Structure 1
Amino acid sequence: MPDEAQVRQALVAHELCGFFQPKFILETGEITGVEVLARWRHASGKTLPPTSFLPVLERCGLLDELLCQQLHEGLALQRQLRGQGHDLDFAFNLHAVQLANSSFASHIGTLLSEYDARGSSLTFELTESGLLQAPQTSLECLFRLQMMGCRLSIDDFGTGFSSLQRLFQLPFNEIKLDAGFIQALAQEPRCHAVISSTLALGESLGMTVVAEGIETDEQHQYLLNMGCTQGQGYWCAKPMNGGDLLRWFQGEQQRSQRA
């Protein structure tokens, strides 16, 4: 496991970078947005997962610095894609501790102006377990983001204990159904009930439900038959760096033109 000095140096050297995984409409395959995921492009040539550095960043109070780098990288890529005719939502993961930053929302407003982007083109994803840790006062940040037009998503839905309470209290637009339910569909029939009830809940609350972790044709078809409309996972595309994402979209355009 890398130590604190190595992680700090990686952050300064911008080795901690964004990888981008598309979100798609199950019925048509149309891409609606991407989630920005943190990866460490290590000097050794390996790409390390967030578990190898996020705990260190959180302990050292450096999560805001990482997010700032991700926002600049993501918004620049979003602007480039917009210029190519792809108007996509970009989703960033937000940790509960960052909600206490009173200047966070105003910083987002500044970035939106800098990159000529709309608030509605950004989504902030918060894990259900993280919301349990967030004090009530810091949750005001979420309302300020919503007033700017930003979308809010509750991630890993179904793994915590206060989901319904938070959905009632806070202005979320999206539920991301935890990948574990999707991947256990074939082996565990009760997952069908969890997914079905979440879809019904999302519809009744006017919220989008995104199924995470779709990897197989069987899972894709199963969710489509259940009425799920949006998903994310290897079935569509793996997380990729910005250059690969641009090339991936070019390939998608070429395939659609030939069809």
Structure 2
Amino acid sequence: MKNISILVLEDEPFQRLVAVTALRKLGLERIQQAADGTEALDLLRTGGAVDIVLCDLRMAGMDGLAFLRQASLSGMVRSVILSSEVDEDLRQAASAMTRNLGLQFLGDLGKPFDMARAATLIERHRCQPAEIPAEPASVEPPCLEELLRALEQGEFEAWYQPKFHLESGASLGAEVLARWRHPSHGVLTPAHFLQALETHDLVDRLFWQLFRQGLALQQELARSGRQVNLALNLQPRQLADRDLVPAIGRALEKAGLPATGLTFELTETGLLEAPAASLESLVRLRLMGCELAMDDFGAGYSSLDRLCELPFSQLKLDAAFVRKLMSQPRSAAIIGNAVSLAEDLGMSLVVEGVETAEQRERLLALGCRVAQGYLFSRPLERDAFHALLARRSVPGLH
């Protein structure tokens, strides 16, 4: 912990002394202190970047909010701990602002200074998940000819984001994600190609390539007596195709696989005004035996209305609620109510975005049972996912 640098921003001399003394007792050696935002910015300019700012909000001169805004532009602060006596709802709003500025919010320390709580929050900084290696920023949006070549040569691959049982750690299937193994730029995520595929009306071709790869993996696993549920993303416009469900049925029959091994995920926002043909496709998928999941539940404005009208069997809780779980009590309340809602509706609930052991324990206490996130695994290519299943699957849990 001693290698972590920290800036204490507090206008009350006694409170500042208490914080600095306590941090030194925790083993921190690289500590700077400032009485207002202007002084803190000057310290950053002269002394360089810091890992953590312990920040009060209400101060004479430049207050904590203005400092955080300026510090985010400088790129010289990585993480923030709030330490303020303002009302809780104001501290929660400030924490949301901090995240929106691109800074990592470690938590709310409050006042008076709590050494044990401070140690926990500082440790949270040290245990932050490693950054994902940046993808090439210079990659230009692909043209139609490049996309067609990639589709024809099979450069798009199915990768797998595992789902896990929160308590036992057993693998419970995976979400199928698209990756492009580009001959020049390496492995690219959908941020580099999905919009171009949509523009050129090629999303359906991508879907079928991923679907066939997923079925091939299921067939291989079935030969060794194992089953795995795979979830694939469908776009609402695909549901309007009356041949979609029959084509899925034919593919399953040819592969000798049950429809119960498939889940189709749809975002609520794309189904606001679903035509009759789309609703028919959803019903037929359920009649066939497939599961339907409402993805990013809670991120839109019509979740409950869609639940009343559409035959979903699973809710996937948006990762934003988990990110705020340890800092905003309201997020915990929403997650707990989502658990109750899913149970009352006879649905399963999958929590997205679990990254820390602390989040896992809190989610278990709230009644959550199934999750995705970097705490368990990043998205894996086929062979790595196959190996993970061999290590972590538990008989009877699929």
Q: Secondary structure at the match of 2:231?
A: strand
| Other-structure match for 2:239 | 99
| Other-structure match for 1:126 | 266
Q: Is 1:226–2:366 an aligned residue pair? A: yes
Amino acid at match of 1:132: L
Q: Which ranges in structure 1 are unaligned for 5 or more consecutive residues? A: none
Which has the larger share of helix? 1
Contact 1:128 1:157 in 2 (8 A): yes
Contact 2:239 2:277 in 1 (8 A): no
In the TM superposition, what is the alpha-carbon distance from 1:251 to its structure 2 partner? 3.7
Give TM-score scaled by structure 2 length: 0.62
Q: Deviations over 1:113-160 (max 9, x none)?
A: 111111111000001212225334422110011110010000000011
Q: Structure 1 residue runs of 4+, over 6 Å off?
A: none
| Other-structure match for 2:207 | 67
For residues 82-231 of structure 1, the aligned pairs below 5 Å read 82-132=222-272, 134-231=274-371
Amino acid at match of 1:8: L
Amino acid at match of 2:217: L
Q: Is 1:5–2:151 an aligned residue pair? A: no
Amino acid at match of 2:344: S
Contact 2:242 2:277 in 1 (8 A): no
Q: Which ranges in structure 2 are unaligned for 5 or more consecutive residues? A: 1-140
Q: Select the structure with the greater relative contact order (CA < 8 A; seq sep ≥ 6).
A: 1
| Other-structure match for 2:171 | 31
In the TM superposition, what is the alpha-carbon distance from 1:247 to its structure 2 partner? 2.0
Contact 1:214 1:231 in 2 (8 A): yes
Give the aligned length: 255
| Other-structure match for 1:20 | 160
Q: Deviations over 1:40-98 (max 9, x none)?
A: 11112521111211111112221111111111100110111222333111110000110
Q: Secondary structure at the match of 1:106?
A: helix
Once residues 83 and 231 of structure 1 are traced to their aligned partners in structure 2, the CA distance between those partners, rounded to angstroms, is 27
Q: Decide which moves more: 53-62 or 209-218.
A: 53-62
Contact 1:96 1:133 in 2 (8 A): no
Q: Decide which moves more: 51-60 or 68-77.
A: 51-60
Amino acid at match of 1:17: E
Identical columns (%): 44
Amino acid at match of 1:217: A
| Other-structure match for 2:18 | none
In the TM superposition, what is the alpha-carbon distance from 1:38 to its structure 2 partner? 0.7
Once residues 128 and 39 of structure 1 are traced to their aligned partners in structure 2, the CA distance between those partners, rounded to angstroms, is 24
Give TM-score scaled by structure 1 length: 0.93
Once residues 200 and 248 of structure 1 are traced to their aligned partners in structure 2, the CA distance between those partners, rounded to angstroms, is 31
| Other-structure match for 2:192 | 52
Q: Secondary structure at the match of 1:51?
A: helix
Amino acid at match of 2:380: M
Q: Secondary structure at the match of 1:145?
A: helix
Once residues 133 and 119 of structure 1 are traced to their aligned partners in structure 2, the CA distance between those partners, rounded to angstroms, is 27
Contact 1:92 1:125 in 2 (8 A): yes
Q: Deviations over 1:165-224 (max 9, x none)?
A: 111111111000001111121222211111111111101000001000111101111101
Q: Deviations over 1:213-249 (max 9, x none)?
A: 1111011111011110111111111111111111222
